[in-house]
Chain A
Amino acid sequence: MAFDFIVLGATGMQGRIVVRDLLETGYSVLLCGRDKPRVSHFLNAYKKRTGFKFIEATKITTIINAIKFSKSNVVINCMEGDWNYEVFKACAMLGVNCIDLGSEIPVTRKQFSLNNIMKKKNIVGITGIGSVPGIGNIMLRYASEKFDTIENIHLGFAWDSNMKEFVVPFSIESVLEEFTDRAPIVEDRHFKYKIPLSNVIKEHHRYIGTEKELLVRHPEQYTFLHYFSRKGLKNIKFYAGFPEHSFKMILSLIKLGFASKKEINYFGAKIKPMNFLTQMLKNLGAPEGYTEKENLWVHIIGTKNGKRRDTMMECLVPPLRGWESAGCNIDTGFPASVLAQMVKKGAITERGCFSPEMGVPPSIFFRELKKKKMRVFENGKVIKL
């Protein structure tokens, strides 16, 4: 059987959102991952439209074989970003389209190097289609068309929950890295690096309120500069906002040494505290009735017709009935599902390797988001589609 889509990392948090959305929309999906029991409910409920293949990110042949087996021409890669280049390379070789949730700047840069080969193969490789990167990039694309020049872009996310309980974010590893790894900012077109926890500010965001934000490393600094330097872009900063109860607990985990990647000698075995923590938190659920909401924002400052222009783009993500257990991870999983369907339907005409601020038509994309109750605002007003 030929599947409509193949999802790599289908057993993870984002992968499961993508899979569920595609299946509920009526598509067939080959689920690929390591932890089959975590998706057995999908396999049982959609027996005729699903299949499962065990893959191991470190063994690219398992991925290549799974893609070949699926006979699908759209690969949705929901694995950790470290493997994104290898997966893009495999897709380029196989001549199939691929989208992923984004990766670190060095990996993104390597992915972009596949642009020509992907163009030649008449396929797309779109990296960074989640919330931010993802929705944020497309909001920038939408707003940028109203600017002659762009000087500053500040962007980020801010979220909160109805209960002040610590619920494990989509990837505790990524979040701890965001808190501890040096954060690049673009200042006067040059990359500079800041220590996130030394640059904590308090900021107010509509729908969320005032909370702590810190500079974090994100691929947008690279992709925005890559595409918008021609408009004069000089400065980029990315801020991650957390509610106090979550911020405090993440900080505690760091202070207690769980963010460390230095191996601990455990009776002769070498274990990294970060890996231990990830394993420990894997099955920790949210309390009953727990919901999350989020504001994804991009603040653009530039000029139009010689006059200063200041635009705040926001995508407000409320809790979605039936998807509460996924929290605001839905705004990462849904965009991937939406874009994959756009690729499948031929709505993406651009070819090659790029990030979503290139080649993704905002109006079609935002219309799909609206169906998920995710609405996009321009300077406080809902954009008309």
Chain B
Amino acid sequence: MTPDRADRADGAPLPAVLTLSESELAGDAAALDAAWRDRPGLWGWLTAVDHKSIGRRYIITAFLMFLAGGIEAALMRAQLARPENTLLGPDRYNQIFTTHGTTMMFLFAVPMMTAMGLYFVPLMVGARTVAFPRLNAFGYWTYVVGVVFLYVSLFANTGPDAGWFAYVPLSGPQYSPGHRVDVWAQVVTFTEIAALCAAVNVIVTVFKMRAPGMSLNRIPLFVWAQLVVAFMIVFAMPAVATGSTLMLATDRAVNMHWFNPAEGGDALLWQHMFWFFGHPEVYIIFLPALGMITPIVETFCRRPVFGYTAIVMANITTAFFAFGLWVHHMFATPIPELGESLFTAASMVIAIPTGVQIFCWIATMWLGRARLTVPMLFVLGFIFTFVNGGITGVMLASVAFDKQAHDTFFVVAHLHYVLLGGGVMPLFGAFYFWFPKVTGRILNATLGKVHFWLFLIGVNVTFFPMHILGLEGMPRRVYTYLAPTGWGPLNLVASIGAVTIALSVLVFLINAIRSWTRGEPAGENPWDSSGLEWAVPSPPPSYNFLHSPVVRSRHPLWDTDVELPVVTGLRTDRKEVLITSTFDAMPDSRHSSPEPSIWPAYLALCMGVVFIGSIFSPYYVLGGLGLSMIGLFGWGWQSSKGIESELVAVPNGAMVERA
């Protein structure tokens, strides 16, 4: 639906065609840049609110966490490479595997996927920024506090050591004295706050800031995936935040009894709270990755994706079912048989919507002319690896099999096939695809192919043997094993695979650093892709779009219009964004967007004082809350800066001008 042609504010009709001279265009661009760019220098860095600055930092920080988690994985594989190895002792090993899981799930995967959304969603929907730029910055800084806290603790020999899902009673005050589990509980809190801020931002950006004409059935599929995942975050993250902050941490700090059976508490309650979040978490990582695949397949097969509506429906169905599977992590606990059957059925059913999406991409490749570029290779690698992981998932959904394989390396193999195949492979594909947009330069394709093959081989060589090890009975989370078990050779193979993965990531790093500085310039749209993000220069200017775009199809850049439909009249002298109606995306109003601000970083630090301090004394909580009052006041003070005259739509439908 295209908005009807409206008249100008002064009643005069809009011109049919507007041809602007080069100097007029340059003038507009300079004015917009002056209004939108963040300030220079260190202060500018701390006060930045541009969604691209924050998004880029988020992506780089999350990637550093991927490297840190990878180093921990390499240490574990070195320890397990041969029986009775003495590289890591049991205590160190416990900290390393817990930090590896915590880092990869909470500090790499979820933040990376939300960060990709925070960078690209506004560009893809034709907006100048996100709905709440300061909230976005606050989320990022909160996440950074969590990152720093976890790694400082690890190097201080206070790294969490009760596993990434911190089961009670092991993680409770009786069996985990000291502060290691407290560190885990608070790191989780920081990352949940960050994810929730990102989710609200994405939802409101998609609901209210889409380009005119981008009705629900024209939203790009990556944006659909981000929207669905944002809703999942809203309902999943509170469960673990409640479990870790309001229950586990309070049991440990102020002697509550949530999980203490002696006083009526219940250890299984923790498992319910954790997995009610933990299972949707897998899809929170996986659905955005699927969203990245569609534009890659469309672009390199030169045709619109097959089954747009089916893919949207598959996303929504997956999100619903994702909340109905958590008990399959608890099959080894006394769950009623009827419950087991229900959760088995749900765990098998969820394979269907994912299958639908995979068949849609295969049909697109079949009907189009596929070019085997690096992003496409990663898509094919995803299909191969992920389908393997999906099949072992269906196996584990069966209670009888699950009871045999529970807590063995079979589960480790399954979850790594799913997460590396379903999450990291599409993510690497997306890096090759969108790197030119973010940096203005193209990643080297030859190095990309080396990266791909090393990674694909490495993942399979590392994790395939773990299936067999698991079936042979090797439990997960053991720091060593005896030679007569016969597990030595397969463990050595897995460790050689890990070296291959490390090499592949090294190749990628070299490629990224080299291409960022000396790569081939990309131009606006190097792949001749169809999304709005490719309509702006690479890297995008501070204001994203010189003119607010209007869309008339799902593939605006593949339309063959002679003229570019736009909305005119947004202010160029200050930050102003166009707001559209929720369903049909008709132009509705324009809002001012906040200036750079130090308060998000300040408030994130205050949250650090509150949550880290809560481990030691309630007085830190009070102190931190007191300090955050200053921040809240400053935030409000900045918002309440006067703006000259405003056109107001009062609820009865009238419009009035107010100074």
Answer yes or no: are A and B bound together in one complex: no
